[in-house]
Amino acid sequence: MICREVVFADSVPYWLLISQVEHARLSGYLAELCLDQFGESVPSADRDALTAVQQELLQAIIHHDDGWREWESCPPLDKDLHRPLSFDEVPAQDAFKIWTNSALAASEFGDLAPWVVASHFSAILATSEHHLADPQAKQWLQDTSQQRTQWFTNWHSANEHAHTMRLAGEALKWLQLFDILSLWPCMLYPVVGEIVQAIPKSFRTSEDWVLVREICPASDASQQIVFDPWPFMLPSITLEAAAQMVPFREYKNSAELFAAAKPFTACWELVPR
């Protein structure tokens, strides 16, 4: 769950809650709009195989956070502050279980999908000082590495000519990119009516990522987000996330939290530079 504080004209603070599953859906929505650009280096003779890979990758992106479904149905609250937790505040043990379940859920779509999802979370753990310090982090990485090897072996053996490590690596970069392109607005960019406390920082992608090099706020700090370069055929894109708005106070449990929540649509406009 993405949880952040927002303040509107009445100066009353709220928590904006966006499900990880909803965030992943947005990732898939954006990826689908330029999916034909995935695997451009694949020879024309393997185009039929590539189409199947593109569709499996799309499902991996859409469902990469499905492991959050159970957790989000009854999320624990902060023990001291009695408020909702954001995804990056979840205890390591919970995160490991969620990540494992996300990869297993993706296995419904083939062997590439769980490999991509598991590789994505392995990379996140490798750069997370908080979770990496947990005693079970090393074991989780080892277990996940073994499972990733099996998934890749199965996928590669199904079509050794087309199902290469290079293509799998490109698929991973796509998930990483579209995860960020959805996550950044949900976490940082203002929603309609919000009083902007600080203009969000720009985000530059890794040098070896594809399609987009930078996203940044429009100069007026509106709901416009500028993409450079612009990878889509559409002149602009409206991104809408189903969210919940919760009054800023202490709660006894998740049932009380959800009882106080009101539906809200977070909306941003994506535009080219």
Look at the block and give the residue holding tokens 């996300």. 102
Mean pLDDT score, 9-19? 94
The pTM of this model reads: 0.95
Q: What is the pLDDT of residues 142-163, one digit of tens each?
A: 999 999 999 999 999 999 999 9
Domain count, the chain: 1
Range of the domain at 62: 2-272
Contacts of 23 (CB under 8 A, 6+ apart): 2, 65, 182, 183, 186, 241
Q: What is the pLDDT of residues 101-128, one digit of tens each?
A: 999 999 999 999 999 999 999 999 998 8
**Which helix (H) or strand (E) covers residue 215, if one does?**
strand 214-217
Mean pLDDT score, 244-270? 97
Cα separation, 206 vs 212, in Å, equals: 10
Local structure of 19: helix, strand or coil? coil
